[in-house]
Amino acid sequence: MARESPPRAAGTLPAPLLTLDGGRVTGAATPPVARPPDSGSLADLPFLNAGQAPDEVLFSRRFSRGDPGAEGGRGGGGNGDAGWQDVTCAEFAAEVLALAKGLIAYGLRPGDRLAIMCRPRYEWTLVDFAAWAAGLITVPVYHTASPHQASWVLSDSGARACVVEGVREARTLTAVRHRLPVLEHLWQLDAISAHQNSAIGQISAYGRGVPDEAVTERRANLMPWLAATVIYTSGTTGVPRGCVLTHANLMAEVDAAIEALRPVFAEPTPGERPSTLLFLPPAHVLGRIVTLGCVRARVRLGHAPSLRTEDLLADLASFRPTFLFAIPYLLEKVFNGARARAEELGKAGSFDRAARVARRYGAASEARQHGGVHGPGLGLRAARSLYDTLVYRRVRAALGGRVRHVICGGSPLGRRLGTFYEGAGVSVYEGYGLTETSAAVTVTPPDAPRIGTVGRPLPGTEVRTAPDGEVLVRGPQVFGGYWDAALGRVLPATDAEGWLATGDLGSLDEDGYLAITGRKKDLIITSGGKNVAPAPLEDCLRAHPLISQCVVVGDNRPYLAALLTLDADGLHHWRLLAGLGDVPQAELLRDPELLRQLQRAVDEANDLVSSAESIRRFRVLPRDFTIDSGYLTPSLKLRRAEVLRDFETEIDALYEEPQA
């Protein structure tokens, strides 16, 4: 049975059509707001922009000191910082054209695969669009990939060419090039010496004799249903698989996301351009969609290549974006860093009071947007105004000072942080999706946020839950299938009706908002038969300033336990306050006060669940989980199977020792 939600307000998305089963919402579908494209491709975007707004700034490039390109171009990036140089729509299209001609001159044919192994930077986007303009299919590779991982992606995809960032990435591929007989070209973006051109200059120069019409012809032959990219899953289990995404998949995703997030892409104030800084890896589907969305909506885009906290905060301060796409890790770091600084100044109590006020204000604002009678009262507004000067302004300053919207994904942010940021003047909209769905299938509507959920289906998208709670999705952004190199074709991954089983567990509320509770394969079944999704406990504990990673265990065990790793910044701050700067870390892990603080964090997480689902014991591991150690994927997802295998002794000890 189906029913329509309340009618759409002016300027908002259509309300989702809900499917009910015995009074429970089991499906939600948002009507499309545009017809799917029947011609054209992503390769057309730079040239459409150049024709419609040639002088409009599309990118701001971050030049390093000594970069030969830093001598030319127009500086400022729209914010007065000489380190950022603007690139207009016309300039970008000209660079795309020149590079595409070079790729054609090197003999790359339509449908050939070109891999890109690079951190977030302007050249990544330039190569991506130039490859499409030449009729190629791009294959992103994480710049942190090991030689084995990189060779698998290039070999499985059949890449004929690869563009890498620098010496490190070039060495990674050189070490395994004997396993890549199809790879003919390996270009390096960073020049090896002052006397040698970078890949961009080299390829563009090689194509000077190719007529512009050659690129125009290749673009004309591209159709929406053709493959645009093969993105390999991060491989939390098994071998990464190549998701084949078409131009139509990506165009549908971008247009639906822009429509759903229209207030985010609007002018912050009259005459002020919206802008964002991309620090998510472009090899991840969300980083890719952010880039495409900015090019499509002509939003000024900058790139931040380093995820180190101090580097990223410096880039945010100089670029000063108006909105961000982020993972909860960044927002947790900013909040924990602000509290740590307050504690060092002896003002932790004041910060905690400000945080409580922000959460109350954020919750009251959310309730008002959903028809609550009262929003924040006079006293709460006054308290918020006071702490805005003392606390919230500094939190916003850490994000660059102008950010008012953050779109968050990857893992749940949690209500505690969500309401805090809303009260502090930064609205956070959570979304949910997979590589297989071209990124998001749901997002929180800015005009009706519901903190703690991942929002409603995007326009043209359907979501439903199976009897066992698994989330199923269908829509134009859902991919056609996985690439099978042995068969040389795409293997379908959806059922006959187009539904994709995500492997995630979730539920829909009475208004069509989706909440994700965990991964189906991660479900823990205790020896007492209790089914427990570990994600809520793990996400809560990871938000603590002292904790970096948490793995809840207990499959076929009498109770739940946890492995914890410590956050380097949080531990350093705790050392300073405790006066234990010289104590070796191995000894520090046995410190009674540190263990008491961790126990309090576990107790607070346990308050979210029943007694049978609570963590009874924990153990602190001597080292953190990292990408290099193999316990995190390049997109910072936990490789649970590897952790359970390598720390089996520590897990057994949690059940062998008597409980206190």
Positions in the chain short of pLDDT 50: 1-11, 65-82
| pLDDT at res. 658 | 59
Please choose, from the candidates 379, 377, 359, the residue with its C-alpha nearest in 3D space to the C-alpha of residue 368.
377
Look at the chain and count its residues: 660
pTM for the whole structure: 0.88
What fold, for 6-19+25-31+327-520?
Luciferase; domain 3 (2.30.38)
Residue whose token pair is 């070999």: 155
Residue 617's beta-bridge partner residues? 561
Q: What is the pLDDT of residue 375?
A: 77
Q: Which of 535, 58, 50 is nearest to 295 (CA)?
A: 58
Angle, helix 212-220 to helix 89-105, in steps of 10 degrees: 90
Burial class (CB in 10 A: 0-12, 13-18, 19+), 250: buried
For residue 272, the model assigns a pLDDT of 82
Check: CB of residue 416 under 8 Å from CB of residue 439.
no
Which among 52, 571, 542, 566 has a CA at the least distance from the CA of 329?
Answer: 542
CATH T-level fold of 42-319? Rossmann fold (3.40.50)
* Fold match, 6-19+25-31+327-520 / 523-656: no
> For position 68, what pLDDT does the model report?
40
Which pLDDT score is estimated for 1? Answer: 35
Q: Which residues contact 213 (CB under 8 A, 6 or more apart)?
A: none
Distance CA 637, CA 190 (A): 29
**What is the pLDDT, as a whole number, of residue 71?**
38
pLDDT of residue 194: 54
Report d(CA 197, CA 585) in Å as an integer: 47
- Quick check: 98 and 204 in contact, CB under 8 A? yes
Give φ, ψ of 449 to 5 degrees: -70, 150
Structural contact between residues 274 and 266, judged by C-beta atoms closer than 8 angstroms:
yes
Q: How many CB atoms lie within 10 A of CB 269?
A: 7
Domain residue extents for the chain: 6-19+25-31+327-520, 42-319, 523-656
Which candidate, 92, 61, 69, places its Cα nearest to that of 197? 69
523-656: CATH homologous superfamily? ANL, C-terminal domain (3.30.300.30)
> What number of other Cβ atoms are within 10 A of residue 401's Cβ?
13
Task: Name the residue with tokens 């003047």.
Answer: 425
Dihedrals phi, psi of 475, to nearest 5 degrees: 170, 170
Q: How far apart are CA 189 and CA 169, in angstroms?
A: 10
Q: Side by side, which strands form the sheet with 242-246?
A: 185-188, 159-164, 113-117, 137-141, 227-232, 242-246, 481-484, 489-492
Q: Using an 8 Å Cβ cutoff, are 420 and 364 in contact?
A: no
313-318 contacts, C-beta under 8 A, 24 or more apart? 313/398, 315/62, 315/277, 315/279, 316/277, 316/398, 316/399, 316/400, 316/403, 317/397, 317/400, 317/401, 318/79, 318/81, 318/83, 318/84
Q: Is the Cβ–Cβ distance between 204 and 99 less than 8 Å?
A: yes
